[in-house]
């Protein structure tokens, strides 16, 4: 079954990882993709997410997809239960995802049952377009219907 779980912030994602993946937190093998954070000045949310995952007992590996090949990404991600894309600069993340071959790799992994977790920029990457990342007053939009365009 294909599963994607999208949220606007890491607190929501972290509190619901076990439910989304369908395993106790301590049994989850997670890839934490932090590439989008390279395009922003304040990255405190990355440390907060890592602290929260550690407190939950989640076994995570921090990964930057930029500069990797499809084969390298496949080898890093194929044995994970879930791939969690953090927030940050959506445009930077999209560029790295396309150039590295991550788009094809994640499609194949989702087909195999790996859960896609997207926070902010990671959620935008799973939408029909990333245009909302450039909207003003995003806080006025309480709901966003997302369709996973990578499928």
Number of domains making up the chain:
1
If you search the block for the tokens 């990797």, which residue do you land on?
Answer: 68
Tell whether 148 is covered by a domain.
Answer: no
pLDDT at 108 over 50: yes
Tell me how many helices (H) and strands (E) the chain has: 6, 5
Q: Which pLDDT score is estimated for 72?
A: 98
The domain that holds 106 is classified in CATH as: 3.40.50.880
Tell me the residue range of the domain where 110 lies. 4-133
Tell whether 139 is covered by a domain.
Answer: no
C-alpha to C-alpha distances, 94 to 14, 20, 66, nearest whole angstrom? 23, 24, 10
Which range (6-10, 60-64, 85-89) has the least confidence? Answer: 6-10
Tell whether 111 is covered by a domain.
Answer: yes
Q: In what order do the strands lie in the sheet with 29-33?
A: 4-7, 115-119, 82-85, 29-33, 59-63
pLDDT at 116 over 60: yes
Closest CA to 87 of 14, 137, 20, 149: 14
Q: Which pLDDT score is estimated for 117?
A: 95
pTM of the model: 0.84
Tell whether 50 is covered by a domain.
Answer: yes
Region 22-29: mean pLDDT is: 95
Tell whether 43 is covered by a domain.
Answer: yes
**How does strand 4-7 pair with strand 59-63?**
unpaired
């Amino acid at each position: 079954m294909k599963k994607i779980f999208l949220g606007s912030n890491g607190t929501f994602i972290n509190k619901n990882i076990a439910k989304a993946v369908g395993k106790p937190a301590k049994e989850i093998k997670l890839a934490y993709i932090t590439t989008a954070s390279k395009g922003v000045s304040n990255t405190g949310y990355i440390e907060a997410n890592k602290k929260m995952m550690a407190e939950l007992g989640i076994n995570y590996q921090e990964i930057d997809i930029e500069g990797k090949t499809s084969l390298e990404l496949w080898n890093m991600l194929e044995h994970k239960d879930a791939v969690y894309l953090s927030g940050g600069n959506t445009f930077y993340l999209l560029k790295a995802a396309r150039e590295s071959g991550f788009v094809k790799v994640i499609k194949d992994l989702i087909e195999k049952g790996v859960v896609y977790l997207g926070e902010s920029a990671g959620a935008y990457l799973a939408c029909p377009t990333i245009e909302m990342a450039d909207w003003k007053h995003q806080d006025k939009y309480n709901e966003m219907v997302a369709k996973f365009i990578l499928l």
